[in-house]
Amino acid sequence: MIQTNRLTRPDSPRPVTGIVHLGLGAFFRAFGCVIVDDAVQASGGDWGICGVSLRNPDTRDALRPQGWAYTAVTLAPDGPQTRVTSVLTDVLVAPEDPTAVLAAMTDPAVKIVSLTVTEKGYCHNPATGALNADHPDIVHDLTHDLPRSAPGYIVRALALRRAAGIAPFTVLTCDNLPHNGALVRGVVLDLARRIDPVLADWIAAEGRFPATMVDRITPATTADDIALVERLTGWHDAAPVMHEPFRQWAVQDDFVGGARPDLAAAGVQLVSDVTAFEDMKLRMLNGTHSALAYLGYLAGHETIADTVADPAFAAYVRTCWAEIMPAVAAPPGVDLAAYADALFDRYANPAIRHRTWQIAMDGSQKLPQRLLGTLRENLGAGRASPALCLAVAGWMRYAAGTDEADEPIDVRDPLADLLRRTATGGLNQGPTAMASALLSLDQIFPADIAALLTAPVTRAAERLWVVGARAAVQEVAT
């Protein structure tokens, strides 16, 4: 057994904090922190990152003894590569000390507040993109100065900055939402207007909410990963992050006062319009990731790599791309077929243990962005999309809470109880009734999409229940 020491912060000077990041999970530490670290090393600047956990202290407690440094591990097919990332300057836990979080966000040195809070963290209606004023956290934040939600922290911090005569920070969302900058701007302005219309006007005039597209597959860190880092480095890191070699970040270059790290030096694509990058990634990567997650899980596959190693699913995902590509406008210089080939190679990387169950989380929030937009365009234009409709049926079967062996599924979703009641209530009368019941949930399926999906998703659900996921996948694959 090797002797290991705890990872400690490098001797290099601690950077000055210029970014506060809400939702410091594994993805941002494997992606945004690494890229900002590269940008600072290339061009300098006070761009240290203060992370904020909005829920629990686990990440803070793991990183604090290490001086906020951690190991980022590239899981390449030819073997893992490690680097120590030390751009973090602090980690705060919002429920423990919301005042400290607001103080950090109000610091004049902070120019950017970035977010990875997942789709559900924006407290919006995923079918419409509008603020959900009935969300319990929003109800709280409307009447309390110390907020709970990410939009609440942004609005209250901006109010403090305005009162102190400090320019607003740029709000940089890094979550997979269509038109994510505009969506977050709309949610923030709606909440601000309900609190103080003058504040909302100031944010609208002075604030900036650039759109982004982020892409790096980041599986959840396991105990085996921690042991791997010890073997590779000789130190114990309580919170390493694992990621694929690929990374892509397209950012609308629209920051308050132009203040940002030299992101281009770290390979970020700074563009005037992110829409084409965003749609391509949301539909071709995230859409097929979800399709493989639900149907792969039902077929007994633990990871995405395992799933696409199954010839039936390898053919299925390519059929999905064939259905998706007519609804995608390629970014300049991008060949969509080549992009799909590259995605397949990434999915097939055996070093990436990206669990289907992990990707399947929060499906009610993900479906509208990842699959329903494509289906609206395809079905509205008369383009049949049996593979994508099967993916929706797969989500329905998954959300019902039992797999094909009648074993329970640990469904993690903000609407989990509602989904299970709706799905199982309909399922008692058969898959047709179950599909109809779920399609009636307007929080997920706007009426126009529900109408388009009723016939093809019902057919897919009927076949899925009769023949099972793998056989159903084989039937629609071309």
* 180-230 tens-digit pLDDT: 999 999 999 999 999 999 999 999 999 999 999 999 999 999 999 999 999
Cα 277 to Cα 170, 175, 262, 273, 318, distances in angstroms: 21, 14, 20, 9, 20
Confidence of residue 424 (pLDDT cuts 50, 70, 90): confident
Residue 426: is its pLDDT beyond 70?
Answer: no
What token pair was written down for 48? Answer: 């240290």
Neighbours of 337 (CB within 10 A): 11
Distance CA 98, CA 445 (A): 35
Distance CA 213, CA 119 (A): 14
The CATH number fitting domain 275-476, selected from 3.40.50.720, 3.30.1010.10, 1.10.1040.10, 3.40.50.150: 1.10.1040.10
The single-letter DSSP state of residue 16 is: P
Q: What are phi and psi of 424, to 5 degrees?
A: -70, -30
Residue range 18-33: mean pLDDT, rounded = 98
Distance CA 415, CA 362 (A): 8
Q: Which amino acid is at 202?
A: W
What is the pLDDT, as a whole number, of residue 337?
A: 97
Neighbours of 144 (CB within 10 A): 12
What is the pLDDT, as a whole number, of residue 12?
A: 84
Query: Which carries the bigger pLDDT value, residue 388 or residue 369?
Result: 388
Q: Are 66 and 239 in contact (CB under 8 A)?
A: yes
Q: Percentage of the chain surpassing pLDDT 70? A: 99
Residue range 318-333: mean pLDDT, rounded = 96
Residue 333 zone, left/alpha/beta (φ > 0; ψ -120 to 50; rest): left
Confidence of residue 427 (pLDDT cuts 50, 70, 90): low
Distance CA 457, CA 322 (A): 18
Count how many Cα atoms sit within 13 Å of the Cα of residue 1 in the half-sphere of its side chain. Answer: 4
Alpha helix segments (H runs only) across 196-333 = 197-206, 223-233, 275-280, 287-298, 304-309, 311-324
Residue 478: is its pLDDT beyond 80?
Answer: no
Residue 39 zone, left/alpha/beta (φ > 0; ψ -120 to 50; rest): alpha
Residue 58: is its pLDDT beyond 90?
Answer: yes
CA dihedral 366, 370, 375, 378 (to 10 degrees): 170
Residue 2: is its pLDDT beyond 80?
Answer: no
Confidence of residue 3 (pLDDT cuts 50, 70, 90): low
Residue 4: is its pLDDT beyond 80?
Answer: no
What token pair was written down for 373? Answer: 């937009």
What is the pLDDT, as a whole number, of residue 205?
A: 98
What token pair was written down for 367? Answer: 């479906």
Residue range 307-332: mean pLDDT, rounded = 97
Q: What confidence tens digit (pLDDT) does each residue in 115-155 have?
A: 999 999 999 998 899 999 999 999 999 999 999 999 999 99
The closest alpha carbon to 445, from 357, 362, 361, 376, belongs to 376
Residue range 6-34: mean pLDDT, rounded = 95
**Tokens 């057994």 -> residue:** 1
Pairing of strands 235-236, 5-6: parallel
DSSP, collapsed to helix, strand or coil, labels residue 17 as strand
Q: Report the chain's mean pLDDT, rounded to a whole number.
A: 95
Distance CA 129, CA 24 (A): 23
Residue range 1-5: mean pLDDT, rounded = 62
Residue range 100-114: mean pLDDT, rounded = 98
What is the pLDDT, as a whole number, of residue 1?
A: 42
DSSP, collapsed to helix, strand or coil, labels residue 435 as helix
User: In the chain, which segments carry CATH 3.40.50.720?
Assistant: 5-271
Neighbours of 452 (CB within 10 A): 21
Q: Which amino acid is at 9?
A: R
Distance CA 35, CA 9 (A): 18
Which of the residue ranges 202-206, 257-261, 302-306, 365-369 would you say has the lowest mean pLDDT? 365-369
What is the pLDDT, as a whole number, of residue 11?
A: 87
The alpha-carbon radius of gyration of the chain (Å, integer) is 22
Confidence of residue 327 (pLDDT cuts 50, 70, 90): very high
Pairing of strands 241-243, 70-76: parallel
**Tokens 């836990």 -> residue:** 93
Distance CA 210, CA 286 (A): 21
User: In the chain, which segments carry CATH 1.10.1040.10?
Assistant: 275-476
Residue range 423-432: mean pLDDT, rounded = 77
Distance CA 131, CA 124 (A): 4
Alpha helix segments (H runs only) across 176-259 = 180-195, 197-206, 223-233
Domain 5-271 has CATH 3.40.50.720: yes
Distance CA 332, CA 346 (A): 22
